[in-house]
Amino acid sequence: MADEQTQILTIDGTEYNVADLSENAQNQVVNLRVTDAEIEKLKQQLAIYQTARTAYARALSAEFPKKETH
């Protein structure tokens, strides 16, 4: 059987052993971790979309007629 690693949660500077929390509190810790992971995925997706948008804007700009300077 694998050894379980002690999970410590720090909130407002106070450390808590997750195993010592109530079942409801442990469920909320899981919810927070899942939510944080989803937020990170969305941030990565946003970065990809922003990069693509910049490329599309540059490609569009290249299609505009060149202005003549006098």
Is the model's pTM score more than 0.85?
no
Please give the pLDDT value at position 1. Answer: 39
Assess if residue 11 is contained within a domain.
Answer: no
Domain range enclosing 55: 19-63
Cross-strand partners of 16: 9
Assess if residue 38 is contained within a domain.
Answer: yes
Count of alpha carbons within 13 Å of 1, Cβ hemisphere only? 3
Model confidence at 4, pLDDT cuts 50, 70, 90, reads low
- Amino acid at the residue 70: H
Assess if residue 27 is contained within a domain.
Answer: yes
DSSP secondary structure of 10-64: EETTEEEEGGGS-HHHHHHHHHHHHHHHHHHHHHHHHHHHHHHHHHHHHHHHHHS
- 16-67 pLDDT tens trace: 999 999 999 999 999 999 999 999 999 999 999 999 999 999 999 999 998 8
Say how many domains are in the chain.
1
Assess if residue 9 is contained within a domain.
Answer: no
